A and B are shown apart, each in its own frame.
Chain A
């Protein structure tokens, strides 16, 4: 299963400036492992203690993966994975 992964500005230093890279995997978890193999350190920015990091949003096509099974989200050939920084903050 080959998918394309859109990389946000803040993580592009890890993909040699590439805005979009391809990765293989049948689940989001496998895709992230494949990204980590090719771009060391990238996986750690996306997953912490076995769960998606709260500082990023990951989408498969139009769906936020928090609503489609998280790391277990199933992927099809040609799916578009988008990583965005979560935009959040507050008083404290």
Chain B
């Protein structure tokens, strides 16, 4: 789970230099991985989406928030805008930030599409892609998407953490 980069700058983003950071690693407890895959499987054939929040500045995912795909589509997802505003306010109040943004691809590989790259607006988040194209094999991969540049990163699955919210 390393390596590939692909460019394609979103039209509203200009280089900030942040893309030069070395590829990182997503450290995530097993119960959160299972919850994301479960959400993706449950919503298949539509794309599932959501976030994992964590304490601001910690880079530690702790609280899973499945979101409504307002598009209810097998080829597109978009957070419901009212639900998103409520979520961001709640995170502000709890001194949390978005640590992971996840969504599923239901017929293609777990790699960011041109649309995913164009919309990527959380430079500090890990973008997790799950593919549900094969019924019995899960693909779970993580990327940074900054200034239109995709960098795949390692996923380190930690033991299940009973304290996370799933």
Contact = CB atoms under 8 A, between A and B. Distances in A.
Interface of A: 8-10, 13, 41, 44-45, 48, 53, 55-57, 59, 62, 64, 66, 82, 84-92
B6 interface: no
A18 to B, nearest CB: 15
B75 A86 contact: no
Between B88, B121, B122, the greatest number of chain A beta carbons within 10 A of the residue's beta carbon is seen for: B121
B79 A91 contact: no
Contacts of A92: 75, 113-115
Interface of A is mostly: mixed
Contacts of B113: 89-92
A65 to B, nearest CB: 10
Contacts of B154: none
B124 A9 contact: yes
Contacts, number: 97
Contacts of B82: 62, 64
A85 B121 CA distance: 5
B116 A45 contact: no
Q: Could you say which interface size class chain B belongs to?
A: 35 or more
Nearest to A19: B92
B112 A10 contact: no
A87 B12 contact: no
A89 B123 CA distance: 15
B40 interface: no
A44 B13 CA distance: 10
A13 B124 contact: no
A23 B132 CA distance: 45
A55 B121 contact: yes
Nearest to A89: B116
A89 B101 CA distance: 11
Given A89-B103, A92-B113, 8 more contacts: A84-B85, A87-B67, A87-B78, A87-B101, A89-B77, A90-B116, A91-B47, A91-B106
